[in-house]
């Protein structure tokens, strides 16, 4: 982030930090706009030493932004009627794992740490999205198994810290995944146990018996913070805060209430503590994340910079409504206390909010990790019920066009994906539409074999991809919504 306004002082902490109880891996914008805000609210309501030690697994950016500010930062709620802001004080320190992995292991092994939470994105789990199991061939996993005292991956840090706790006779901590993954608690448990089994089978048994992995559903649109956001806050608040985050007013956190060493009073801060998150999770992944991905790929190809820009086009708004009504909601079990149609109406209101500049390019990142959860599961369920979901297949075909790396005007697309080079090579290595589609469907880390070999699914993808090549995204969407 650039400099603040001339003469504007740097934000600094105005009160002592809380005692620490949480270590959080992945202190990006979403964590600051969501987890830390709920925790700040919970401590304000009910007290407790639940201060957060934030750990960046790669970049020093969070430390550089928050360190000089004593860990505090500004949460900015965007709204068409005017922004509001508040200072969040739940974070007490930021560590950068590559600089001192031993310090990260030590703070996680400290008995004061009762929860280790994660917002590391799908790729941070080093897993196979098609199976949910640990990818033992991942370079970070191979490194961590050979160098357990200097881990690189989140999984490696968690297992090493738990081994220290066991060896010292200390109780375990709860591992709390807050990423957009179906059954994210189960995924976290699977990769941790897989790693521990490869490292020390007795440790794997101890973790299985002593560590809980609650599932969660998280939701708050958090656009990337820009220099303009920082400058606007400086004008409004009178201080410079390069660590500020911007977000919508809406938030929803559904948490499986299964914590072995206590938790903050998140329920008093608005979180829904439940016995089973699955139905809420499916609702959100399919209704919100599924249409977000459809709008990201089709909208980007159509030239829309943001989600609000896309749904301002009547055909793209109709795309969402038709996807929900005809293809998504029939596959979603109604969660307790939720009206699915009202939920989708709220989603459309959020999408239309021009104060939230959520870029299609940002949402399009890491599609190889997101597709199985956001689109392919819905497609599979729809096809099992005897219906070929043409709109969702169009979204998958748009992803295929996107990862080809060239837009409809022949300009390069900056594809951010852990498999970007492989995807581009698969697309470029074929001379025909059919060849490109088959090459991408053959990537078993994304498409399970049964779905990829389903003749009706393949035919729908081929037809959609051909339409995108021939007529472009706008025409393809118009054709779908008028059909």
For residues 241 and 65, give the distance between their C-alpha atoms in angstroms, rounded to a whole number: 8
How much of the chain, in percent, has pLDDT values that exceed 70? 99
* Confidence (pLDDT) at 336: 83
Whether 258 shows a pLDDT value over 80: the answer reads yes
- Is the domain spanning 278-482 CATH 3.90.45.10? The answer is no
Whether 317 shows a pLDDT value over 70: the answer reads yes
Fold of 20-274: Rossmann fold (3.40.50)
Residue spans of alpha helices (H) in 220-359: 227-237, 278-283, 290-302, 307-311, 314-322, 340-352
pLDDT band at 131 (very low <50, low <70, confident <90, very high): confident
Q: Give the number of other CB atoms < 10 A from CB of residue 266.
A: 21
Per-residue pLDDT tens over the stretch 342-396: 999 999 999 999 999 899 999 999 999 999 989 999 999 999 999 999 999 999 9
For residues 329 and 322, give the distance between their C-alpha atoms in angstroms, rounded to a whole number: 10
Mean of all residue pLDDT scores within the chain: 95
Question: What is residue 174's three-state secondary structure?
Answer: strand
Residue 53's H or E segment, with its range, is strand 51-56
Q: Which two tokens stand for residue 364?
A: 């399009």
* Confidence (pLDDT) at 5: 54
Among 30-39, 124-133, 285-294, 367-376, the minimum mean pLDDT is found in 124-133
**Structural domain boundaries in the chain:** 20-274, 278-482
Q: Give the number of other CB atoms < 10 A from CB of residue 6.
A: 6
* Confidence (pLDDT) at 365: 97
pLDDT band at 8 (very low <50, low <70, confident <90, very high): confident
Give the residue among 198, 342, 334, 340 at the shortest CA–CA distance from 278: 334
Give the residue among 36, 52, 22, 23 at the shortest CA–CA distance from 251: 36
List the 51-56 sheet strands across, edge first.
91-96, 51-56, 20-25, 115-118, 174-177
Compute CA distances 181 → 166, 285, 403, whole Å.
29, 8, 21
Whether 3 shows a pLDDT value over 70: the answer reads no
Q: Is 463 exposed, middle or buried (0-12, 13-18, 19+ CB in 10 A)?
A: middle
* Confidence (pLDDT) at 181: 86
Q: Which two tokens stand for residue 320?
A: 């969402």
How much of the chain, in percent, has pLDDT values that exceed 90? 93
Total residues found in the chain within this entry: 483
Per-residue pLDDT tens over the stretch 136-195: 999 999 999 999 999 999 999 999 999 999 999 999 999 999 998 889 999 999 999 999
């Amino acid at each position: 982030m650039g400099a603040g306004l001339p003469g504007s002082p740097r934000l600094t902490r105005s009160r002592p930090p809380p005692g620490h109880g949480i270590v959080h891996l992945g202190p990006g914008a979403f964590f600051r706009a969501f987890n830390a805000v709920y925790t700040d609210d919970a401590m304000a309501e009910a007290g407790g030493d639940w201060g957060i030690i934030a750990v960046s697994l790669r970049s020093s950016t969070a430390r550089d932004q928050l360190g000089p500010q004593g860990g505090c930062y500004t949460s900015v709620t965007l709204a068409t009627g005017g922004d509001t802001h508040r200072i969040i004080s739940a974070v007490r320190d930021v560590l950068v794992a590559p600089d001192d992995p031993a310090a990260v292991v030590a703070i996680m092994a400290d008995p004061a740490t009762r929860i280790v939470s994660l917002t590391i994105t799908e790729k941070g789990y080093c897993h196979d999205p098609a199976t949910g199991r640990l990818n033992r061939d991942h370079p970070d996993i191979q490194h961590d198994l050979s160098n357990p005292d200097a881990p690189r991956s989140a999984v490696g840090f968690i297992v090493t810290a738990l081994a220290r706790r066991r060896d010292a006779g200390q109780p375990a901590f709860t591992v709390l995944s807050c990423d957009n993954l179906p059954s994210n608690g189960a995924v976290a448990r699977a990769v941790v146990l897989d790693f521990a089994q490869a490292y020390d089978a007795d440790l794997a048994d101890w973790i299985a018996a002593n560590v809980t992995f609650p599932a969660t559903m998280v939701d708050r649109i958090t656009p990337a913070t820009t220099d303009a956001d920082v400058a606007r806050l400086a004008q409004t608040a009178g201080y410079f805060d390069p660590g500020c985050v911007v977000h919508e007013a809406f938030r929803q956190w559904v948490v499986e209430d299964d914590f072995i060493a206590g938790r903050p009073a998140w329920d008093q801060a608005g979180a829904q503590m439940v016995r089973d998150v699955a139905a809420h999770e499916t609702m959100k992944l399919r209704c919100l994340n599924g249409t977000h991905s459809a709008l990201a790929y089709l909208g980007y190809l159509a030239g829309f910079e943001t989600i609000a820009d896309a749904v301002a086009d009547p055909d793209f708004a109709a795309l969402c409504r038709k996807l929900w009504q005809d293809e998504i909601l029939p596959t979603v079990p109604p969660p307790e206390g939720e009206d699915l149609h009202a939920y989708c109406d709220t989603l459309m209101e959020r999408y239309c909010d021009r104060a939230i500049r959520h870029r299609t390019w940002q949402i399009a990142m890491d599609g190889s990790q997101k597709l199985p959860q956001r689109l392919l599961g819905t497609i599979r369920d729809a096809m099992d019920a005897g219906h070929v979901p043409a709109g969702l297949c169009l979204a998958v075909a748009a992803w295929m066009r996107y990862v080809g790396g060239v837009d409809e005007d022949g300009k390069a697309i900056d594809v951010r994906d852990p498999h970007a080079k492989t995807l581009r090579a698969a697309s470029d290595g074929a001379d025909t539409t059919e060849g490109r589609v088959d090459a991408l469907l053959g990537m078993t880390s994304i498409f399970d074999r049964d779905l990829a070999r389903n003749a009706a699914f393949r035919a729908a993808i081929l037809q959609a991809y051909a339409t995108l090549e021939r007529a472009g995204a706008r025409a393809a969407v118009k054709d779908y919504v008028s059909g």
